[in-house]
Structure 1
Amino acid sequence: MTITTNNLSKVSKPSGLAIKLSDRADAGQTVGFLFEDIEKNAEQLRPLLANVAVYDANGILLLNQTLRKLWDFCRKHIEYKFDPKNQEVLYSPRRVWHQKFGDCDDQTKFLLCFLFMLKIPFKIRIVGYNKNRGFAHVFPVSWTENGKEIILDYVPECQYFGHTPPYLFYKDFHK
């Protein structure tokens, strides 16, 4: 799939600081901030929407193609980078775009801003890999045209569209 890019420089520069939750923010607190920030700041990325939305000749959104194109776009442009040790920092979508990186919650929020603007249903999934450590990762989930759940995780360990590394337990959050 060829990705054409339009308006990549039209997102205004970020202002202000990132949100630092706490030295040990819990997963529920982080997800609450994600939902709040998506609703509040998704419009920051509107100039990029043409790069991810796929429509047919009648102007109908093609869901499966849009989800794939969105995943490809995010994977190409936003690199994974850990937050500072023992801190949970949330960057605005605009800041993530300009700095070209974020951790899994920043990447999740960035991608979900597009789904929110396109009115595509989604949920946020938090997962754990070790029962003694609790939740360790977050990623977006949506559904294909036939109702099949599709994982939109694009951290480096996700080798292909719809993939995430195996996890032991999870919790889904819906708005």
Structure 2
Amino acid sequence: MSNGVIVRRGRYYWHLSVQALYDGKTACIDWRSLLPLNGGTTKQRQSLLASSKGLLIALVESPRDHRGERLAHSTVLNWVHDLRRLIRWMTSKDVWSFSDLRVTDIVDYMTFSTMRKDGGGEVAPHTLYMRGKLLHEMWEVRHQYPSPLLIDSTHWILKRRDDGDAVRRGGHLTSQLLFPCSVPR
């Protein structure tokens, strides 16, 4: 890896380097945890995992605009967490490829993403923003992984408002879901 955050790749586990603050700790991605235990054909499951691994490599190797030189392992783990959520939602709808997602699927997923997993209400605006941001990044690196997302839906699904002064004063980032008047098919 050009960035050095992924130090060892195996069939099921990828090991990540961690900062000195995590002395003696390791970080690991278990690729088997992305898919549900049942469902899909062997080919569908393998293809979705290959696409997911390619996506993660593309995300790790893509230039960071406003961050430091080193990508933190926690960023990679957050991508995997959000990717797992997307994949679990997709497979529950019998969608086994990012390239098979339609605009209506993205809208449904983002609506689903507004709710907490424990049923305790809505997620924080920043959480929703990060879930939408993953879809945007999947579009941005679409030429770098197999069976990529073919829809750039982020222009109308998610808008981030960031009042820099409010953030510096301890304010909050806010996100909004934006639904078009008509949904393209």
State whether TM-score is above 0.5: no
Give the TM-score taking structure 1 as reference length.
0.32
Larger fraction in strand: 1
Larger fraction in helix: 2
